[in-house]
């Protein structure tokens, strides 16, 4: 792909500007370990400039009629679609995502979330009366948006689109590990005619740029997606200025296969769900619960399904699994696979090292563990790689208890007849419960219980996160 000339610049107040610092960071293609670009790393001066631009633009932008703001986001969607293949190529390069996955999932996610936000905004009651009080939804103010590397366009679209429609101005910090698509998105916003200062982009690290954004007194809200560890740092930095903090954090999602399910189909679908995106999804169903009597069959199906995956060159349309994002992530996954072996889980397939025939790139073996106990490290810790832990249960009550025995609560899955699954769904402490691997619903609320975060994204749920609610009492007298 052609790398944007704006990679070493920031987008502030409607223009591409030179950074205050000369510091650069290489952008690695994790499939090849080659440096494909350099990205500028911002500092406090850069972020202060971007926030000042957003603050100066807020008063004029937030009073735009709602329909005018919706029309602006429609224009962003139009320009995004015209550069769709560029986004797919960018994410394939920066993440090592197989090109078909980059087109059909990564770039697609940005498209459909913008569409869902537009639809929700057009259907939303922005003002209404309750007795003599007029209820008004208004933009919260200047927003700091901090997004991760694993679903770049998904998270940028889920933050920028609702923030714009709510009447907010913003500064976006994409992940410095996967910044190519973020710079493309800033170019889209510019081409769509977003007014100067309304959308700004500064690249940089979390400890430098992210921390300043979170603590800045002129920021009214932080919307953060990333690890729970980083999320707690964001919340602590934001606390002294009492700004709103919305967070989508880690997960260790349970997948309960009911005894009445089609075991072969349910297990195969569950394996493919965890292995997609190389296991690097916060809501991946990484803990599979099967009845003890059916575990042997489940392990056989899981082994066959995992071994049918084709890790390798992401530019080939036949490749079904890409690499992990970095050496650091690869080493973490290797450590946790070894922990599973050392703690006595049954290694069904996969294990330590790269897949056969792959001698470079941060590829990990699709790995299945059976006979996993609830207290094992691989059952407790978020691995963020292609590793599935299968835990046997003796009763559904036990399965539910083990499923809920986690500090996380982002998502859960149940496979089996819907009428059998519904009462189990109500018992699971998770923000999203998926029955029988449904299609992605971009109108459903997305967010977590417990240490998986707070707030909800997608459609009108995301719009509400970026709104203040004003009651004008006596309005209807």
Alpha-carbon distance of 310 to 293, in angstroms, equals 31
Give me the pLDDT at residue 78, please.
98
Positive or negative, the Cα torsion across 57, 63, 68, 71? positive
Contact 224, 234 (CB under 8 A): yes
Alpha-carbon distance of 415 to 424, in angstroms, equals 11
Query: What are the residue boundaries of the structural domains of the chain, listed by start?
Result: 5-249+452-472, 254-443
The CA-CA-CA angle for residues 180, 184, 189, to 5°, reads: 145
Give me the pLDDT at residue 265, please.
98
Q: Is 282 a catalytic residue?
A: yes
Place of tokens 């905004």: 121
Half-sphere exposure of 201 (CA within 13 A, CB side): 31
% helix, strand, coil for the chain, step of 5: 45, 20, 35
Give me the pLDDT at residue 423, please.
98
Packing angle of the helix pair 180-191, 84-95 (nearest 10 deg) = 160
Tokens representing 422?
Answer: 């519904």
Active-site residue identified among 94, 176, 208, 248: 248
Beta bridge pairs of residue 397: none
Tokens representing 101?
Answer: 């996955």
Place of tokens 């707070």: 454
Half-sphere exposure of 297 (CA within 13 A, CB side): 14
Beta bridge pairs of residue 200: 171
| CATH 3.40.309.10, domain 254-443, yes or no | yes
**Backbone phi and psi for residue 220, each to the nearest 5 degrees, phi listed first:** -95, -20
Which CATH number does 5-249+452-472 carry? 3.40.605.10
Alpha-carbon distance of 275 to 310, in angstroms, equals 11
Alpha-carbon distance of 182 to 11, in angstroms, equals 11
pTM: 0.97
**E-strand stretches of 403-448:** 408-409, 411-415, 432-435
Per-residue pLDDT tens listing for the chain (477 residues)? 789 999 999 999 999 999 998 899 999 999 999 999 999 999 999 999 999 999 999 999 999 999 999 999 999 999 999 999 999 999 999 999 999 999 999 999 999 999 999 999 999 999 999 999 999 999 999 999 999 999 999 999 999 999 999 999 999 999 999 999 999 999 999 999 999 999 999 999 999 999 999 999 999 999 999 999 999 999 999 999 999 999 999 999 999 999 999 999 999 999 999 999 999 999 999 999 999 999 999 999 999 999 999 999 999 999 999 999 999 999 999 999 999 999 999 999 999 999 999 999 999 999 999 999 999 999 999 999 999 999 999 999 999 999 999 999 999 999 999 999 999 999 999 999 999 999 999 999 999 999 999 999 999 999 999 999 999 999 988
Tokens representing 152?
Answer: 């770049």
Active-site residue identified among 189, 282, 382, 467: 282
| Distance (Å) of CA 381 to CA 151, 198, 336, 377, 385 | 20, 39, 8, 6, 11
Give me the pLDDT at residue 477, please.
80
Q: Is 189 a catalytic residue?
A: no
């Amino acid at each position: 792909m052609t790398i944007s000339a704006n990679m070493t610049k920031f987008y502030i107040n409607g223009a591409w500007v030179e950074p205050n610092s000369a510091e650069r960071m290489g952008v690695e293609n994790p499939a090849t370990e080659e440096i494909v670009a350099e990205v500028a790393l911002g500092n406090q001066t850069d972020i202060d400039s971007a926030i000042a631009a957003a603050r100066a633009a807020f008063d004029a932008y937030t009073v735009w009629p709602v329909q005018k703001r919706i029309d602006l986001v429609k224009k962003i969607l139009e320009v995004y679609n015209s550069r769709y293949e560029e986004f797919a190529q960018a994410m394939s390069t920066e993440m090592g995502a197989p090109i078909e996955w980059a087109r059909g999932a990564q770039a697609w996610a940005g498209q459909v979330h913008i569409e869902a936000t537009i639809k929700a905004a057009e259907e939303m009651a922005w003002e209404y009366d309750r007795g003599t009080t007029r209820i008004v939804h208004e933009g919260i103010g200047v927003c700091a948006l901090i997004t991760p590397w694993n679903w770049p366009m998904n998270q940028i679209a889920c933050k920028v689109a609702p923030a714009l429609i709510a009447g907010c101005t913003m500064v976006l910090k994409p992940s410095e590990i996967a910044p190519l698509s973020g710079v493309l998105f800033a170019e889209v916003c510019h081409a769509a005619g977003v007014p100067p200062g309304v959308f700004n982009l500064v690249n940089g690290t979390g400890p430098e740029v992210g921390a300043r954004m979170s603590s800045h007194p002129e920021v009214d809200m932080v919307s953060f997606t990333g690890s729970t560890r980083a999320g707690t740092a964001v919340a602590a930095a934001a606390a002294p200025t009492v700004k709103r903090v919305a967070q989508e954090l880690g997960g260790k999602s349970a997948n309960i296969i009911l005894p009445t399910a089609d075991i072969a189909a349910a297990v195969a679908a569950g394996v493919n769900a965890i292995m997609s995106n190389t296991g690097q999804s916060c809501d991946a169903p990484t803990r599979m619960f099967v009845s003890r009597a059916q575990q042997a069959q489940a392990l056989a199906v899981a082994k066959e399904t995992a071994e049918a995956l084709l890790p390798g060159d992401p530019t080939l349309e036949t490749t079904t699994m890409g690499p992990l994002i970095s050496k650091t992530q690869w080493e973490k996954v290797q450590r946790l696979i070894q922990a599973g072996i050392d703690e006595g889980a049954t290694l069904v397939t996969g294990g330590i090292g790269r897949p056969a025939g792959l001698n470079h790139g941060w590829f990990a073996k699709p790995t299945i563990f059976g006979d996993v106990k609830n207290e094992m490290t691989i059952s407790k810790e978020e691995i963020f790689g292609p590793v599935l832990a299968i835990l046997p249960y003796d009763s559904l009550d036990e399965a539910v208890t083990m499923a809920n025995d986690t500090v996380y609560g982002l998502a859960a899955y149940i496979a089996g007849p819907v009428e059998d699954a519904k009462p189990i769904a109500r018992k699971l402490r998770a923000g999203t419960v998926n029955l029988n691997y449904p299609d992605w619903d971009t109108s459903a609320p997305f967010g977590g219980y417990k240490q998986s975060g707070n707030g909800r994204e997608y459609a009108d749920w995301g719009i509400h996160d970026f709104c203040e609610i004003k009651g004008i009492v006596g309005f209807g007298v």
